[in-house]
Amino acid sequence: MSGGAVDTDPPGSGLALAETLTQAEKYSPYRFFSADDWAQFRADTPLTLDEEEVRRLRSLNDPIDLNEIRRIYLSLSRLLSAHVEASQLLFRQRQAFFNADGTGKTPYIIGIAGSVAVGKSTTARVLKELLARWPSTPKVDLVTTDGFLLSNAVLRREGLMERKGFPESYDVGALLRFLSSIKSGQRNVRAPLYSHMTYDVLPDAFVEVDRPDILIFEGINVLQTRDIPRDGKAVPFVSDFFDFSIYIDADERLIHRWYIERFMRLRQTAFRDPEAFFHKFAKVTEEEALAIAEGLWREINLKNLQDNILPTRPRADLILRKGANHFIEEVALRKI
């Protein structure tokens, strides 16, 4: 064919696709980093954990190690520490502006969200340890949303046992009152405790949170929103109390695999305890247990992920994207 210009990069070619992705990133609210690029932000941040501590902090089936701490979490703790210091400076300036007495203290609240089996608990525990070991030695507390689930008795009465972990299975009022009390600097605020052994909220069991510098608040649906009333009345969300939010992300197929693997391992460990709520699953055959795990994933956890958890991902300030080996491969940080 003679005459005219030839398009050397037709749609669908590698270069055209790269340009399309570049344009998409240009208009995204996030900046994207590979794990190696993200690791450079740690600079001279010292590693304050050892291998034994990492083993203690990681959840079942989570292979996090010291190298992953260096690659991802040192940079993250440095970033969060900078955010906390900036927030504290702003708080002091506001006190001066309003001529306050300076006795108050507003904790910095970090929310961590993501699916079951994706590694939220490990991330929360590791961050708690790293942040508490910064030179300023801030007081860091960790609370999970499990304790704010409605009791099994209430869930059964309301027909919600099969929707445990869905937004409607939580005592939202208690969640909001707890976070409001924390944010207002109240002393000795109580959070209810949950037992994964009995699969229920522990009656009359609490942990007290006494004005920490940082509170890490972890749960699958902490970024969830609700319908906004047309009359303009204020409707608080749990995430309204967060200063920074993190979403632990992975491909749905990977989370499915991790969930099944964890269930089968628990069948050989925690489920063997006669007091365990799921003790009955330790008695069935491996094939039956696998079928049960697949059913629980398909009918409960997958639906919750698709309908409630994943849609909240764009609300996070930071997204940690995991690969097949459970290690983080990409970091997305919201642009300032």
- Mean pLDDT of the region 107-123: 97
Map out the domains of the chain with their CATH numbers. 28-334 (3.40.50.300)
Q: What is the largest CA-CA distance in the chain?
A: 84
Judge whether 126 is annotated as a binding position: no
- Mean pLDDT of the region 258-271: 94
Indicate whether 18 pLDDT > 90.
no
Judge whether 289 is annotated as a binding position: no
- CA atoms of 220 and 164, how far apart (whole Å): 11
Identify the weakest region by mean pLDDT among 10-14, 50-54, 160-164: 10-14
pLDDT for 3: 44
Judge whether 147 is annotated as a binding position: no
- CA atoms of 312 and 308, how far apart (whole Å): 7
Judge whether 207 is annotated as a binding position: no
Instruction: Dump pLDDT digits (tens) for 197-213.
Output: 999 999 999 999 999 99
Instruction: Dump pLDDT digits (tens) for 35-59.
Output: 999 999 999 899 999 999 999 999 8
Q: Tell me the torsion sign for CA atoms 284, 285, 287, 293.
A: positive
Best-predicted range by mean pLDDT among 97-101, 131-135, 247-251? 247-251
**∠ CA 115-119-124, rounded to 5°:** 110
pLDDT for 214: 96
- CA atoms of 66 and 285, how far apart (whole Å): 37
Judge whether 118 is annotated as a binding position: yes
- Mean pLDDT of the region 255-270: 95
What is the band of 111 on the pLDDT scale with cuts at 50, 70, 90?
A: very high
Task: To the nearest 10°, report the CA torsion of 313, 319, 323, 329.
Answer: 160
What are the contacts of 44-50 at 24+ separation with CB within 8 A? 45/74, 45/75, 45/77, 45/78, 47/74, 48/129, 48/130, 48/133, 49/126, 49/129, 49/130
Report percent pLDDT > 70 for the chain: 91
Indicate whether 2 pLDDT > 90.
no
- CA atoms of 144 and 285, how far apart (whole Å): 33
Judge whether 119 is annotated as a binding position: yes
Instruction: Dump pLDDT digits (tens) for 290-307.
Output: 999 999 999 999 999 999
- CA atoms of 147 and 52, how far apart (whole Å): 28
Indicate whether 104 pLDDT > 80.
no
Question: Do residues 321 and 295 touch, judged by C-beta distance below 8 A?
Answer: no
Indicate whether 257 pLDDT > 60.
yes
What is the band of 4 on the pLDDT scale with cuts at 50, 70, 90?
A: very low
Identify the weakest region by mean pLDDT among 87-91, 126-130, 234-238, 331-335: 87-91
This prediction's pTM: 0.90
Tokens of 96: 């001066």
